[in-house]
Each structure stands twice: as C-alpha cells, then as structure tokens.
Structure 1
C-alpha cells in the first residue's frame, strides 16, 4: 500500500519536481506563455472512450462528467436490449493548473468511489517534442456490502491502485493515437490464483470525421497471466460529438465498468457473443476564473 501512496504523492508533486528537468523542458516552459509551436486538441475530451486521454483540464476549469452504461445488447427484447438495465458514474474534475487535474467520482457498479491525479509532463511541440505525455494515478474503493458480514473485510483490502503513462501523438488534424502502459494493483483478490498485480497495454486513437465529430477506439491488452486467462481484453468504440460547451460520447464496449479498477482487470463480456454495452459520456466544463484572471 505504501508504495502506491508514494507514487500518487510523486504525481501530485510533479509540477515542482519537473522544475529541475533538462534544457528541453526549460525550452518548453519558456514557450508556454505564447503557445508557439504547441500542438493542441489531440483529443476532444479527457476520456478517449473508457480510459483517460492525455488531455487535462484548463487552469481553474471544473468539469462535470456523467458516464452511463446500459445492459448488454444480447439481453433480449424483454430487457429492451439492455436499456432496462444501467450503471452510472458521476464525477467532478478540477484543473489546479493547465497541467495538473484532480478528480473524484462515484460508480454504482460495486458502489465504487475513486479519486485521481493527472499531470501533463510533456506537450507535443513542433520540431522538438514528438508526443504529449501525461502521468495518471488513481485510487478506487469498493464499498459494496459484504456477502459474509461475520467475516468483515479490512478497509485496506477494498483498495485498488492504478498507474498509467499516457503517450499520444497528433499525426494530422484528423488522426491522433495513444499508447497507455498500465499497472493495476489490487490489495485483495478473490482467490489465491488471482493476481494482485495486473499489467496491461492500452492502445487507442481518434479519427476526425467532421469539424465536430470523430470516431474513437480503445483496446486494453492484458499481459499473460492468471487474470488474462480468466477475463477478457476491454475493447471500446464510439463517437465524440462536440456541441458548444459539451462533449457527448456515444460508446459500445464489452466492459461494464467505467473506472480502471473495473474495466481493465475485470472485463467479462465477449463481443462475438453480443456482450456489448451501449452507453455514453457527457461532459460540461465550467470556468471558475475571475474576470481579472484572464
């Protein structure tokens, strides 16, 4: 537990630690005030599909995110092909700076609370830095009541940590790709065969269709192990639709969960069997800057 808390703390302290980096980062900071040469809009939203993108909130911007997943399409007409069933996550994300974002959320699935920090370490710069790199660290807590109350579970056993390095490049105005090496640690697992440490590699991208719409796809490959043998890789596809201050994301995925703890090591759905969840993300950004701060 201590090493994961330390990693989370290091991510929170990253803005200060990065001041001691090499000349390339110093150059980037010097250009930051003019935005000269920087590549913007790698993705439309802070989520690629299920997982996070490299994007962070702007300085003093508050994002309200509603994520919704219906039941599986193969649940039949009686359940209106999944529309009678639903899970939901509500979240608030705040940009302490235009590089550092903190967020809190609550999912109905397993009654999970989660908190995270994202820090944009590097930003794609024409002729100098080929990619944008963002560090992500989260803590999730399962609060679902125990099936055996006479055998209480310690609080620490309910915790799951996720650490990611999000690496993305905007190749053209239409095409952006992202690589997401991922480490998930679960303090307690169901059986002795389950793995406390789960490693995965996320791959995803966005292709812009029109000025306000894009097609997005995302795949998390579980590295070989017991978890990979028992569960499936999460595959999600969807469309981003920008409407003023909102970004509306329509999603099809074999993962019911909407936080890393759930959709990376616990996906059970099979696309070929129709275990596909339709859902959406909708986000609204509010600027909390005072007029004199502009």
Structure 2
C-alpha cells in the first residue's frame, strides 16, 4: 500500500503505547485515540495533475465572486508574509507578530468585500480543492469507530466546513475550530467570531469550554497530522496525554525544512498526496 511514498522515521515510534487496555468508558475498537489534524495541505492535497490545488484561502482568492482588489492585495500580503512563516532560520516567537499582522490585514480586507454567505458553496464547488487520496476512506473508518476528529485550522472555517460537506466527510464525530465569519441579517459577512486563530496558536485549548471537549476526557492517545512546525502544538490541551504520534507532511522546500521536521515529527512524509500512512496506522489499531 505504501509503495512510492517517501517515509522518514526520525525517532523510535511509540506504537506499543496504543495497545494499552482502554479505560472502561471507551467502547471504540481503536483503543481510545483521537485524531487532531490541520486542514490546508494536510487533509487536502497540495497538487494534482501537475497543478497546485486550492487551499481554503485559495478558494476565495481564485473565485470570480471576489473583487479584483482583494486578489491583488491578498497576493501582495502572501508574498510578504509566507516566506516568514516557513523561514527555518526564524524562531516561532519571532514569527508570531508577523503572522498576527498578516491575518489581521487579511481579515480587514475580507470585511471590505461584503461576502455573501450563500456564495460560499459555489466557490468551493468551482475550486480545485481536493482531499488527499484515501481521506474519505480514513474518515469513514473513524466515523464507524466513533473516533473524534478535531480539525484545527488557521484558515476560514466557513470555507473549509463547506469543503468537508462537499466531499461528504463532515460527519458527527468531526469538530472544526477555525476563523468563522460573522454575518448580518442579510447574510453579508461583517467580521469574524471569537479570537484570531493563526498557525502558531491553534491547539486543543480552544475547545475546553465546549461540549466536544467532554467527549475527549478518556481519549489520551492522539494521532496528530500537520504540514508545518506550528502544527506540532495542536495537541496541547489534551488532558494527561498517554502518547501523541506526530505525522508531518513536508510539501515544499524539502531540503531546507527537512532537518526541523525530523526533529519535531515522529513520521515525515515527503510530498505525499495520500492518507495511506494514516490509514495503515489506523488499521493497526483495530
């Protein structure tokens, strides 16, 4: 199943910890794990057929429903701030002020666009956003087993929720934490709900006050998947974690970023557009 995939195991993997006896409140056949996953370019593909796929931001950037001034300014901000996000020589603490600056400017720009809530479904349908191969299979397995799936994203929640609906994987075991639009009575986007979520502050602390968090009290084994070093913190807030298996999707600037990924993830997948590794691990846990 894994033929053709470049897999690196930087450290000894804690497979054995997943075979502990589950606590009595847990009835899942998957030994009480939970899945914590980033959305853009982790759950979704980076490229397909030689063309780059849209992330949740790209869905809006490339939609004809968005004004041209939005695209021009969004691209200018991307060119300025994305190199900072992936710069392996900068510390997270050095990057955070720039990320907050970037997101606040994009959020202000989006408010000016008067986005209609009813237009989001069409934007997603017309986009090139695609789930990684095997994502539907993985989600079906986790849904059947009642395994909670937490999608943590610094993108736009309204857009990525529609992507999940479009591919029929937004089931009742899935919780999305992201930046959600606030709409007026006419269905026009006028701002954002809650606190700003960027790539370096998204973690399970964001759901401690929700009903969803109660479902996780006995699920202290975590499979975490992300495509940036900021994603390794997504499991922060898990109460007394027994083990966290971290899977990193290294999508670009591979030679430059590989050492840092190997230092922080248990498994590093190089330009892999599938969920084959995750599916194989879940199969082992049955």
Kindly indicate which of the two structures has a greater share of residues assigned to helix: 2
Kindly indicate which of the two structures has a greater share of residues assigned to strand: 1
Q: Give the TM-score normalised by structure 2.
A: 0.26
- Larger RCO of the pair (alpha carbons < 8 Å, separation 6+): 2
